Structure 1
Amino acid sequence: MDALGPLGVFLAVFISHVIPFAPLPGYAATIYYVSRHNDSASQVLAAVATALGASLGKLVVFLYGYGIGKLVARDELLYAKRLFEKISKLGIDVAVFIFAMSPLADDVLYIPLGAAGYHVGRFFTALFAGKMVLATLLVFWANLLTGMLEGLFGNGILATLALVALTAALTVLVLRIKWSAVLEAYEKGGVWSAVKAALRSVVGRA
């Protein structure tokens, strides 16, 4: 990764984001690069490369359309579309931005949007803005925890591996969210009930 620098980060993030529901390998590349380069210029480049790679990758997913989405997400896609209809009361661009800046499985929003023929320029603008926020937070997270873990492990490589493993674990937990249960809870009890349903699905409780 050091040999390619930010270009390597961009390629890793782009490739991982082209594959629906599999962003982790790309973000691991970002974390590794940031953990090995603590100067401000490198970290800014890492954030931009991550945001651009993620945005272009998700643009490809957006163009997959409903056919691929139905194959990948199955019944959960229907619940995701219903959830999107509620969120989109704030505006579709806002919904895209919110999903892009969060660690949620945003493909369930982008695929049906692509199938609906949503404006590509507006989609990409909101998408890149959200991914830039997420990438900046990711770089900040990696930079902050690298120093803490290096103090704990006393070894740069071990600290980097621990950081990647921790980020991977958190990502897996987020991807366990069952959107059908979240939507049902939201319709019955509002936002707080939806949050509790999301947490229950993360820890594997019915």
Structure 2
Amino acid sequence: MDYGLLGVFLAVLLSHFIPFIPLPGYIATVAYVAAHGDLPHIAAAVVATALGAALGKVAVFLYGYGIGKAVMGEELQYAKRFFDRVSKWGLDLAVFIFAVSPLADDVLYIPLGAAGYSLRRFFLAVFAGKLVLSAAIALFADAALMAVESYTGDVRLGAAAVAALTAAATFLVLRIKWSRVLAAYEDGGLKAALREALRSIARRK
């Protein structure tokens, strides 16, 4: 593992370490893929990214429910209700889905830690989810970089464009108020939940 892969691992680890403040650590993955476009390097970047993300979420998992009360604020009731819901259809699957999606996963992981959920099962589920997500990010970045480079002839411009897109996507997801999305889903189903998510993204405050 060279310094570049170590940098990817550390950037992603730190970006997933702080609950409810996900920083765009995947930009490091995009930068590495831009610098090393061959398949072995992309595969290594995927593993480094997934491992960093999973270990970061293990730290969140270990914070436990006591600290969760202090940091979750008004989202605490949402977390409790959502925890009750997902526990009905399998916690391993729930952890995997949260890990691979843009959902606010810390509202599930902190209560799971407090409930004494198996650390080994948690790590395996979250690592599997982050592996899928990391592969999708790396492959998308590689394809986007190739497309921009073929159009402009400038690989640096392609790397900057994909990095900006990654940061923008992170910012938009951060704006979603998941408690309101859940309430909208309970009242009006999936379409209402999607509308509320879009309203959250578009709101000024």
- 1:87 deviates by 2.6
Which residue number corresponds to residue 153 of structure 2? 154
Which residue number corresponds to residue 104 of structure 2? 105
Q: Which moved more, 1:7-16 or 1:57-66?
A: 7-16
> Which one-letter code corresponds to 2:132 in the other structure?
V
Cα distance 1:147–1:114, how it changes in 2: closer, same or farther (>3 A)?
A: same
> What TM-score, normalized by structure 1, do the two folds share?
0.91
Contact 2:50 2:134 in 1 (8 A): yes
Contact 1:88 1:94 in 2 (8 A): no
- 1:45 deviates by 0.4
- 1:158 deviates by 2.5
> Which one-letter code corresponds to 1:191 in the other structure?
L
Which residue number corresponds to residue 183 of structure 2? 184
- 1:200 deviates by 1.4
Which residue number corresponds to residue 61 of structure 2? 62
> Which one-letter code corresponds to 2:67 in the other structure?
I
Runs of 5+ in structure 2 lacking a partner? none
What per-residue deviation string (whole Å, max 9, x for no partner) do you get for residues 132-156 of structure 1? 1111111111111112222454322
In structure 2, distance between residues paired with 1:59 and 1:98: 16
Cα distance 1:146–1:24, how it changes in 2: closer, same or farther (>3 A)?
A: farther
In structure 1, distance between residues paired with 2:57 and 2:98: 12
Q: Which moved more, 1:38-47 or 1:154-163?
A: 154-163
Contact 1:93 1:123 in 2 (8 A): yes
Runs of 5+ in structure 1 lacking a partner? none
- 1:186 deviates by 1.2
> Which one-letter code corresponds to 2:118 in the other structure?
H
Cα distance 1:174–1:49, how it changes in 2: closer, same or farther (>3 A)?
A: same
Report 1:11-22 matches (<5 A).
Answer: 11-22=10-21
In structure 2, distance between residues paired with 1:175 and 1:77: 17
In structure 1, distance between residues paired with 2:149 and 2:68: 41
1:166 aligns with 2:155: no
Report 1:22-61 matches (<5 A).
Answer: 22-61=21-60
Cα distance 1:188–1:143, how it changes in 2: closer, same or farther (>3 A)?
A: same
What per-residue deviation string (whole Å, max 9, x for no partner) do you get for residues 169-194 of structure 1? 11111111111211111111122221
What per-residue deviation string (whole Å, max 9, x for no partner) do you get for residues 91-136 of structure 1? 1111100000112221111111111111111111111111111111
1:82 aligns with 2:81: yes
In structure 2, distance between residues paired with 1:161 and 1:150: 11
> Which one-letter code corresponds to 1:179 in the other structure?
W
Q: How high is the sequence identity, in percent, across the aligned residues?
A: 60
Report 1:122-141 matches (<5 A).
Answer: 122-141=121-140
What per-residue deviation string (whole Å, max 9, x for no partner) do you get for residues 64-113 of structure 1? 11233222221113213312322332111111000001122211111111
Q: Which moved more, 1:52-61 or 1:178-187?
A: 178-187
Runs of at least 4 residues off by over 4 Å = none
> What TM-score, normalized by structure 2, do the two folds share?
0.92
Contact 1:176 1:201 in 2 (8 A): yes
Contact 1:178 1:201 in 2 (8 A): yes
In structure 2, distance between residues paired with 1:87 and 1:183: 12
